[in-house]
Structure 1
Amino acid sequence: MRARLVLPVALVAAVSVAATACQAPAAKDTADGPRTASAAVDYNPQPYDKIKDGGTYTTAGTFDDQGNPFNVNATLTAARVWGWYNADAITYSPAGEVRYNPDYYSDVKVTVDGGDQTVVLTLNPKAVFNDGTPIDWTAIHATWKANNGSDKEFAASSTDGYDRITAVERGETAKQAVIRFKGVNPAWPALFSTFLHPKAATVAHFNKAYVKKAHPEWGAGPYTVGSWDTHSGNITFVRNPKWWGKKGKLDKRVYVNLESTAAVNAFKNGQLDYTSAVDAESLQQIKGLAGTEIRSGGSPFEYSLNVNTKSPILADKAVRKAVVESVDRPQIARIQFQGLDYKEPLPGSAVLYSFQKGYEDNVAAVLRHAPDQAPKTLDAAGWKPGPDGVRVKNGKKLEIGYTLLGDDPLGKATAGALAAMLKPAGIHLVIKKGDDADFAKILNERRFDLILSGNRSMDPFGARYLCDFYCSDRDSNLTGAGTPALDKEIRATADIADLGKQATAVNKVERKALAQYAFLPLFSGPSTYGVKKGLANVGATIFHTPLPETVGWQK
């Protein structure tokens, strides 16, 4: 499953970043704060036997348009909802150590022979999909088949890793899957952290079956769908009578479809057990509420400016360069997170975080805030200043659209700031209002010039997603930038078995990709939440996703 899932900024947890200079290399960028982002966790971790039986856990959330997290059109919401009624077979500790769930994988063996890796997954004898189909090697095969890229009709989010598998075969019994790789893939757990029902692995079902629809019969786990109101978008998960493992501690897990402002009010009124603090104002509103607490820690989120290279005016690399040179990242951070007491370095990579081994600040090495240089870049490209200050070339004004989703005040302020930053260079930013509900469509059909979006890493193997961000032939590359030659260099990094050496190569290639001037990481920050006291295994977890059966109310 793809590590980073696109989502609108207005829908995510509160983040903050240091207001520091970005004209210089990383060491000076971080003068006002720590050199690495926070890797702290805060989620009240409790063992299973310390959690009460019963109770309800209610948050804001809903089904997404595309509910299949393997699909390129899926967002973070899809992955979160999926995990409540489908297999959570592999999870990670907050720091990224792999954890196999014995309720699905009773044994895992990894060997390398002749330079090629083999993974043997033995599936739990009791494991079964809700429709009675055994969970066996065919589920692993189906997941590989849908995601390996051999059939382009599957709208897969990422084929990386799956395309390195030469075969998925039946082992000694049907309950054993033998996965054969070309070369060595140290990030293989990310490929089979969950899996598809074989019936979901047809093109039609993979692309369309989960659109505005759940398929609990194809799911498995301690919970299943109890009700889904297609009108309101509300969802309730209940204990699954067909589950073979430890029963879920909660009676019900409820998602209520609310916008961020309404969610904060609902939390204040006691209707929600948990909410994201999206800005200083909402944090102030929920701070100190009786029976609640603030949980805040590091975050594998990142928010970036995407520049559509397929847009006629932005096909001109000089224009893209001038845009990037004009953007003052620390100023955007100041706007987004004023009033929050948090500092961190500016993000320097799309795929690795500063708290991870192998990280380098590739952005600072390539992209500089150089407002004095931006006019010169446009002069050299033939864009002449017009009488109204807006540049002109071949009779066409240098007007660029910025798609703003929702009515979040911080989003509006950021859009205004970007317009002010681009104006001195002679670029007129036209702010275009978009509907949150159309977010996936706007991105997938590239109906934007500039747009801000966020991604969350779902596993610690960030280097394997380099192609998703930068390969020119990937739908997940929102900017459309890149070249076949660069694609070849990017894909070559997947052949490196040693994670340290792979990270070194990835950093080198990412710097070339950033020089396309189409993708600019802006800010990251902590995850901050208001939580009712006593709620266990919920909050800021970095790479960790607590198993659904362990979420509940502390004894």
Structure 2
Amino acid sequence: MKVSTVRKAIAVAFAMALVAPLSLGNQASAKEGGSRQINEKPVSALKQGGTFRFVQVDICPNFNTSAIEGNLLNCSQVMGTMLPGFIYFDKDAKIQIDTNYATSVKASRVGGKQTVTYSLNPKATWSDGKKIGLADFVGMWNALKGVDKAYKITSSVGYEKIESIKKGATENDIVVTFKETYADWQPLFGGLKPASLTKDAATFNDAWKNGPTVWAGPFRPATGKGASSFLDKVGRLITVERNPKWWGDKPVLDKVVFKALPQAAQIAALLNGEIDYMDIGNDINALKQARENSKISVRVAKAPTHEHFTFGPPTVVTKEVPVRQAIMLSIDREAIAKAIQGVVDPKVKPNNNHVFLDGTACNQDNTGKLGKRDVAAAQKLLTDAGWAKGADGIYAKGGNRLSVKLIYPSANDNRRDTVLLASAQAKEAGIELVPTLIPTADYFGKYVLVSNFEMALFAWVGTNFPISSTSNIFRQGAAQNFGNIGSAEIDGLFAQANNILDPKKRCALANQADAKAYELVHSITLFQRNNVVGVPKNVANFGAFGFTSLDWTKVGFTK
């Protein structure tokens, strides 16, 4: 079983470019190809058994990754060991079919309409004994197509384009027919959920908060008690173990333990042999210590992750476009990128595209006049909009100071430093960004995901289908558009890009939409993060995957 990112998730702490029309190809492949560092070894060279200890910042609040509450990287990481997926990206970042779940996935035109036929592996079975089949596809479609608003979904993108899902020539064939052309059909039904979860909104929203009740992967929820149970909230552990009913290649590992630790405590745990993995790309001090330790291997790959400031629901201050533009102009994104990411990547530069990251075929600079810091231009925008600098040096208008609370999570030095740098830079332009520390455990659930913030710092973990996944961040009314900042024009451009197959035209339309999003300053992109991990040197088939997929059945320790 291979794990691929097929929708945009939030990193608790994009795989971009061209697709062959109606084929199993990713739309925006990385120019760097499938570059990854995972210490690839044949299974025969690995010790059988063992436990891999995977560190996270927090435990997952909802294991239904299709629900908005479960749209977190840490949730996807856990469920990637247990849920079906039909595609993955090989070592060259090329899309492939996961034959554990489907013998073929074919797109065609039938009666002038786009159809996709999934020929399921007859061995593919849920843990309750039911075969993976039509009811699961129909249930997921009904939950995610956005008609019943009681379902608290992450995104309806793609699912709202489906006209029907029916049985094909055999009981193992599922035929999905679209109302209109939809280019990014490949990631649909990734992380397939059982019909028992999607049967009604209440079940969908809440039934998996303490763990999945049904699964179909090489691992299953651990069956022990206490610290050996699946979810140990006291010890902040999540444990999965080999699934004895798994029909595919037997996993090398006996167990995977997902251990929640504050960011600041993770490097000591790695160096002391208490964990087997740490994402060190966002921690300069941890990176230095890992590089200096002879027992640790630092693995690096180009990755689809980017840091950014996002605006929450517009306030009396941030509702004005010139104000948001002035804030962006007041921030020296290049200085922040070099200060925070320069040790990891000496060539780092500001990210100037929300959709297509650097190293991908469709990347271009869409920031326009807002890309470079310009304090004078920022102040002119404010003056022209009726703002005047007060005695305290901060602009004000109608009795309202230009003051914005900028939240960031605790126990993360890089995020703290990013906010402090931006705050100091903005102050020079007469703008007050107030650094506001939020406990990591509350950051997403009580603030970001419920749009309870004015400005927030976090990272998007992108996908190999950036146009469809990014459109949900900008679409008005979408769950991932936390500030609901957008326009009908942006929505229309993304819709057009999703409804045609010509790769060049799709890229052009998505870039037009992105340029409009920058004009509105929906968010302020900062820099792209490399995938940089620290692992013990004997860890094999695991590390920095970049744009490729993780195969949990092959992860292990060398002999």
TM-score (norm 1): 0.90
Deviation at 1:298, TM superposition (A): 1.0
**How far, CA to CA, are the matches of 2:99 and 2:305 in structure 1?**
29
After TM superposition, give the deviation of residue 365 of structure 1 in Å. Answer: 6.4
The question of whether the paired residues in 1 share the 8 Å contact of 2:352 and 2:371 is answered with: no
Deviation of 1:177 (Å): 0.8
* 2:259 pairs with 1:256: yes
**Matching of residue 349 in structure 1 with residue 346 in structure 2:** no
Q: Please state how far the C-alpha of 1:150 moved relative to its aligned partner.
A: 2.0
What's 1:468 paired with? 472
Q: Is the 8 A contact 1:96 1:544 kept in 2?
A: yes
Q: Are residue 122 (structure 1) and residue 119 (structure 2) matched?
A: yes
Corresponding position: 1:59 with 2:64:
no
1:238 deviates by 1.0
1:279-294 pair list within 5 angstroms: 279-294=283-298
- SS of the counterpart of 2:550? coil
Residue-by-residue CA offset, 1:16-59 (whole Å, 9 max, x unaligned): xxxxxxxxxxxxxxxxxxx9889731111234444332122112
For residue 268 of structure 2, the aligned residue among 259, 265, 270 is: 265
Alignment partner, residue 207 of structure 1: 205
Counterpart in 2 of 1:430? 434
Unaligned runs of 5+ in 1: 12-34
Alignment-derived partner of residue 29 in structure 1: none
Q: Secondary structure at the match of 2:529?
A: coil
CA gap 1:136/1:36 in 2 versus in 1, 3 angstroms: closer
Q: Quick check: 2:337–2:350 contact (8 Å CA) kept in 1?
A: no
Letter in 1 for 2:159: Y
1:276 aligns with 2:272: no
CA distance in 2, matches of 1:341, 1:507: 26
Aligned-residue offset at 1:236: 1.6
Counterpart contact for 1:365–1:511, Cα < 8 Å: no
Deviations 1:381-401 (A, max 9, x none): 111111111222112222111
Supply the distance in 1 between the matched residues of 2:112 and 2:464 (Cα, whole angstroms).
24
Taking structure 1 as reference, are residues 250 and 144 closer, same or farther at Cα in structure 2, changes over 3 Å only?
same
Q: How does 1:19-30 map to 2 (within 5 A)?
A: none
Determine which of 472, 477, 480 is the counterpart of 2:481.
477
Aligned-partner residue type, residue 448 of structure 1: F
Q: CA deviation at 1:104?
A: 0.7
1:445 paired with 2:441, answer no
Instruction: Tell me the distance in 1 between the aligned counterparts of 2:379 and 2:364.
Output: 30
Q: What is the deviation of 1:267?
A: 1.0
- The whole-number CA distance in structure 2 between the counterparts of 1:206 and 1:242 is 25
Q: Which moved further from structure 2: 529-538 or 106-115?
A: 106-115
- Code of the aligned partner of 1:130: S
2:353, 2:345 → 1: CA distance? 24
Give 1:80's match in structure 2, choosing from 71, 77, 82: 77
**Matched residue, 1:221:** 217
Inter-partner Cα distance in structure 2 for 1:365 and 1:163 = 36
Distance in 2 (CA, whole Å) between partners of 1:248 and 1:66 is: 25
Q: Is the 8 A contact 1:402 1:451 kept in 2?
A: yes
> Do the aligned partners of 1:469 and 1:477 also contact (CA within 8 Å) in 2?
yes
Q: Quick check: 241-250 or 403-412, which moved more?
A: 403-412
C-alpha displacement at 1:260, in angstroms? Answer: 1.8
CA distance in 1, matches of 2:48, 2:174: 35
State the alpha-carbon separation in 2 of the partners of residues 369 and 320 from structure 1.
13
Matches within 5 A, 1:104-115: 104-115=101-112
Q: Residue 47 of structure 2 aligns to which amino acid in structure 1?
A: K
Partner of 1:24: none
Change (3 A) 1:275 1:131: same
Deviations 1:57-99 (A, max 9, x none): 1121353112211122321111111111222432112554212
Q: Distance in 2 between matches of 1:114 and 1:361?
A: 41
**Which secondary structure does the structure 2 equivalent of 1:492 belong to?**
helix
CA contact (8 A) 1:88 1:101 kept: yes
Q: Helix, strand or coil: the match of 2:205?
A: helix
Instruction: Tell me how far apart the structure 2 counterparts of residues 141 and 376 of structure 1 sit (CA, whole Å).
Output: 55
Q: State the SS of the aligned residue for 2:147.
A: coil
Deviation string for 1:156-193 (max 9, x for gaps)? 21211111111111122332211111333332121122
The Cα of 1:442 is off from its aligned counterpart by: 0.6
Distance of 1:66 and 1:244 partners within structure 2: 27
What does residue 383 of structure 1 align with? Answer: 387
Equivalent residue letter for 2:367: V
Structure 1: distance between partners of 2:476 and 2:114: 29
Q: Could you list the per-position Cα deviations for residues 211-264 of structure 1 after superposition, in whole angstroms to 9, with x for gaps in the alignment? A: 2x111x411111111122122220221111111111111111111221122121
SS of residue matched to 1:253: strand
Moved more, 460-469 or 296-305: 460-469
Give the corresponding residue for 2:64. Answer: 68
User: Is the 1:479–1:519 contact (alpha carbons within 8 Å) kept by the matching residues of 2?
Assistant: no
1:23 corresponding residue in structure 2: none
Inter-partner Cα distance in structure 2 for 1:94 and 1:162: 29
Q: Given residue 171 of structure 1, which amino acid in structure 2 is its aligned partner?
A: G
What is the distance in 2 between the residues matched to 1:325 and 1:366? Answer: 6
Equivalent residues, number: 527
Q: Which runs of no fewer than 5 residues in structure 2 stay unpaired?
A: 14-29, 223-228
Residue from 532, 539, 546 that aligns with 2:543: 539
Secondary structure of 2:40 counterpart = coil
| CA–CA separation in structure 2 for the residues paired with 1:534 and 1:146 | 43
Moved more, 459-468 or 376-385: 459-468
Partners of 1:222 and 1:302 in 2: how far apart? 31
CA positional deviation for 1:321: 1.2
Aligned equivalent of 2:240: 237
Shift of 1:373: 0.8
Q: How far is the alpha carbon of 1:358 from its aligned partner?
A: 2.0
Q: Could you tell me how far 1:341 is from its partner in structure 2?
A: 4.8
Instruction: Name the structure 2 match of 1:324.
Output: 328
The equivalent residue for 1:18 is: none
| In structure 1, distance between residues paired with 2:194 and 2:409 | 35
Task: Give the residue type in structure 2 aligned to 1:90.
Answer: I
Q: 1:70 to 1:118 in 2, by over 3 A?
A: same
Give the aligned partner of residue 22 of structure 1: none
- Secondary structure of 1:219 counterpart: coil
Deviation per residue, 1:285-306 (Å, 9 max, x gap)? 1224243311111111011111
What is the TM-score with the length of structure 2 in the denominator?
0.89
Query: Separation in 1 of the partners of 2:494 and 2:475?
Result: 7
**8 Å Cα contact 1:72-1:475 kept in structure 2:** yes
CA distance in 2, matches of 1:109, 1:317: 45
Indicate the larger mover: 42-51 or 437-446. Answer: 42-51
Counterpart-to-counterpart distance in 2, 1:186 and 1:471: 18
Does 2:179 match 1:182? yes
Q: Percent identity?
A: 27
Please state how far the C-alpha of 1:2 moved relative to its aligned partner: 5.8
CA distance in 1, matches of 2:103, 2:43: 19
Instruction: Give the AA of the match of 1:532.
Output: P
Q: Which moved more, 1:61-70 or 1:221-230?
A: 61-70
Q: State the Cα RMSD in Å.
A: 2.1
Whole-angstrom distance in 2 between the partners of 1:214 and 1:75: 15
Identify if the C-alpha distance between structure 1 residues 57 and 474 changes in structure 2 by more than 3 Å, giving closer, same or farther. same
Q: Distance in 2 between matches of 1:39 and 1:421?
A: 38
In 2, distance between residues paired with 1:323 and 1:447? 20
Structure 1 match to 2:21: none
* CA deviation profile, 1:123-157 (whole Å, cap 9, x unmatched): 11111111112111221222222111122222221
Moved beyond 6 Å, runs of 4+: 35-39
Q: Which is worse superposed, 460-469 or 197-206?
A: 460-469
Question: What corresponds to 1:42 in structure 2?
Answer: 37
1:503 aligns to what?
Answer: 507
Q: Answer with 358-367 or 154-163: which moved more.
A: 358-367
- Please tell me the residue identity of whatever aligns with 2:276: D
